[in-house]
Amino acid sequence: MRAISRRRALLLGGLGAAATVAGGAGLWWTATSRFSPEAGGGFAEPEELRSTDGQLNVRLEASPVSVPLGGLQASILGYNGGVPGPTLRVRGGDTLQIELVNNLGVPTNLHVHGLHVSPQGNGDNVFVMVPPGQSFSYEHRLPADHPSGTYWYHPHHHGMVADQVSAGLFGAIIVEEEDAPAVSRERILVVSDITLDGSGALAEATPMDRMLGREGRLVLVNGHSNPELSARPGERERWRIVNTCVARYLRLRLDGQQWELLGIDLARFPTPQTVDEVLLAPGNRADVLVTATAGVSALRTSYYNRGSMAGMMGRAARGPDGTGDLVLATFSVSGTPATAPPASPPMPARPAPEDLRNAVVAARRQLTLATGTGMGMGMGMMSFTINGRTFDPDRTDTVVAAGTVEEWTLLNPSPMDHPFHLHVWPMQVVEEAGTAPDSATWRDVVNIPANGQVKVRISFTGFTGRSVYHCHILDHEDQGMMGVIDVR
């Protein structure tokens, strides 16, 4: 039996010695320890918690849980006993209060990914650390004109982010709009991946997994393997898809169905865009309309080459199963045709972010996300840096004047894609691969291709304080590809 690491034993905390020892025999995936996940079953969504009278008070308990995943009883982590955690629905102007209770054996905290809220005090403050057995009360006051859209929450305690997210700690946040498109139903699809051993215990990431960014062997939608979604012909559905994977890119297709993109991250297009596929980097979200056509279709993620490191070619690009082509869910459309909802009006009746392409730029910066071997590092170990430095919470890397607009050139000289995430302040993409977008394109996660660059503009308005930017391949963030920004 391979010895279980102290890190993993602490992470699983309250699962108890029996579950830990049971999983110890299969920490690494081998031909004998794999299981074939059971696919199918009905589609289910997490519990929804909605704000009332401008307030949503939530208690989130991060704890070890035992839940069925892919036909196996899995010993993982979850919020409030489930995976994903509850979906939080709020509106612009609301106050979201979250009491985070840490029932793990290690520290944790909570990041509200994509929300434009204060990073100070008990706001979206990633420098907060909640020790085991303790709790912390967060308060997020959303501006009245906060962009509607799909967001999410997850831990952000440096050095443990990938472990905790991959183990099941994540959930969706919806900021609702007044001008929602008319649909037959709305669905939340939270996509995650995880690696389990043959007994259902969490498999520990290998050093190579951490260098490349781990891709779990079991890919799930709302904690289920290939669930079945049912509809009638003519029904129009809204799907909010969240990529919570540590490193997996989702190149989504729904062949045989009308597939229209409303937006990615906080962006929403003036009119739906008919697309064949949607690419989501880790941390990205998609908002799509599906008009049901009779038949059975697969929501699948196809192969995406995100690059690799010398001597490891193919592992990161294709994933541990060698292909990266997976069915996420099955969409079965049958029965009496339904009357489609009326066509939606032009969508941006809500305030839209200011287009920064003609804004006065106060400063221009270059941020280089790089990988390489470092002095004093173990054989084969890689360094993950921004502008040549690894993360230090006590050092401020970037100081910005509040109320100004800056242009950042994000450079990636490495042979792997790096999805770049800035907390609190959204980014407007102004140039990709040397080409300017035709319209205002807003993201909170921007993919920087291997050996490529992207230019973004950021309006540092609304809030001041210290926060972070980082690679959203969470293993890379944990190993130092993160910097501190102070807006003052």
Residues 155 and 89 in one domain: yes
Residues 12 and 160 in one domain: yes
Residue 345 lies in a domain: no
Residues 370 and 478 in one domain: yes
Q: Kindly report which listed range (17-26, 45-54, 219-228, 461-470) carries the lowest average pLDDT score.
A: 17-26
Q: Where a domain ends, among 176, 206, 229?
A: 176
Residues 114 and 251 in one domain: no
Strand ranges (DSSP E) for 156-314? 171-176, 185-194, 218-221, 228-231, 236-243, 250-254, 258-264, 273-274, 277-280, 285-291, 295-302
* Per-residue pLDDT tens digits for 186-215: 999 999 999 998 888 999 999 999 999 999
pLDDT grade, residue 323 (50/70/90)?
low
Residue 87 lies in a domain: yes
**The two structure tokens encoding residue 471:** 């690679």
Residues 26 and 161 in one domain: yes
Range of the domain at 66: 6-176
Residues 138 and 209 in one domain: no
- Per-residue confidence (pLDDT) for residue 365, from 0 to 100: 98
Give the number of domains in the chain.
3
CA 287, chain centre distance (Å): 14
More confident residue, 248 or 313: 248
Q: pTM of this prediction?
A: 0.91
Residue 210 lies in a domain: yes
- Per-residue confidence (pLDDT) for residue 256, from 0 to 100: 93
Q: Where a domain ends, among 176, 194, 219?
A: 176
Residue 226 lies in a domain: yes
Q: Is 209 helix (H, G, I), strand (E, B) or coil?
A: helix
* Interatomic CA distance for residues 231 and 212, integer angstroms: 39
Residues 139 and 203 in one domain: no
- Per-residue confidence (pLDDT) for residue 113, from 0 to 100: 98
Residues 192 and 142 in one domain: no
Residues 244 and 272 in one domain: yes
Residues 13 and 77 in one domain: yes
Residue 354 lies in a domain: no
* Per-residue pLDDT tens digits for 46-61: 999 999 999 999 999 9
Residues 200 and 169 in one domain: no
Could you give phi then psi for residue 238, rounded to 5 degrees? -110, 120
C-beta of residue 428 within 8 angstroms of C-beta of residue 457: yes
Residues 189 and 291 in one domain: yes
C-beta of residue 296 within 8 angstroms of C-beta of residue 279: no
Residue 382 lies in a domain: yes
Q: Where a domain ends, among 147, 176, 205?
A: 176
> Where residue 379 sits, what CATH number does that domain have?
2.60.40.420
* Interatomic CA distance for residues 441 and 431, integer angstroms: 10
